[in-house]
Amino acid sequence: MTNQALRAALIEALKSVAPESDPASLGDKERVRDALDLDSMDFLNFIIAIHRDLHVEIPEGDYSKMQTLGGAVEYLQTKLPTA
């Protein structure tokens, strides 16, 4: 999966959690929770949405790597099967 496709998938996951937000406008280094005003339940639902859509199980200990879109793309590329 390309970085661009992965970013699009993450934006879709965020939209499913916070439909009124505009995650597409997020910068790669912007903190997702702060920018979109996500609480801990929203963030967990984001992680669950990624699990649902990309079949990646993210341990709690790795949540810190999911704080920004750029960081999440980089992290998820290491978890996704290579083509």
Partner 1 sequence: MADFRMPSLGADMDAGTLIEWKVAVGDTVKRGDVVALVETQKGLVEVEIWDAGVIEALIVPPGTKVPVGTVLARLHDGASPVASAPAPVEPAGPAAPASTAVAAAPALLPEEAPTRVLASPAARQRARELGVDLASVKGTGPRGAITIDDVDKSSKPIEPAPEPAPRAEPAPGAGMRQAIAATMARSKREIPHYYLSLDCDVTPAMTWLESENKSRTVTERVLFAALLLKATALAAREVPEMNGFFVDGQFRPSNAVHVGVAISLRQGGLVAPAIHDTETLSLIAIMARLRDLVGRARAGTLRSSEMSDPTLTVTNLGDQGGLTSVFGVIYPPQVALVGFGAPTARPWAQGDLLGVRTVLTATLSADHRVSDGHRGAVFLAALARLLGEPEKL
Q: Does 51 bind partner 1 (CB under 8 A)?
A: yes
Residues constituting the chain: 83
Q: Which residue has the tokens 């998938």?
A: 9
Q: Which residue has the tokens 């290579």?
A: 82
**CA distances from residue 66 to 14, 15, 32, 46, 48 in whole angstroms, order as listed:** 12, 16, 8, 10, 13
The residues in 23-42 that bind partner 1, with binding defined as CB under 8 A, are 33-34, 37, 39-41
CB of 10 to partner 1, least distance (A): 15
CB of 42 to partner 1, least distance (A): 8
Which residues contribute to the site for partner 1 (CB under 8 A)?
A: 18, 20, 33-34, 37, 39-41, 44-45, 47-48, 51, 57-61
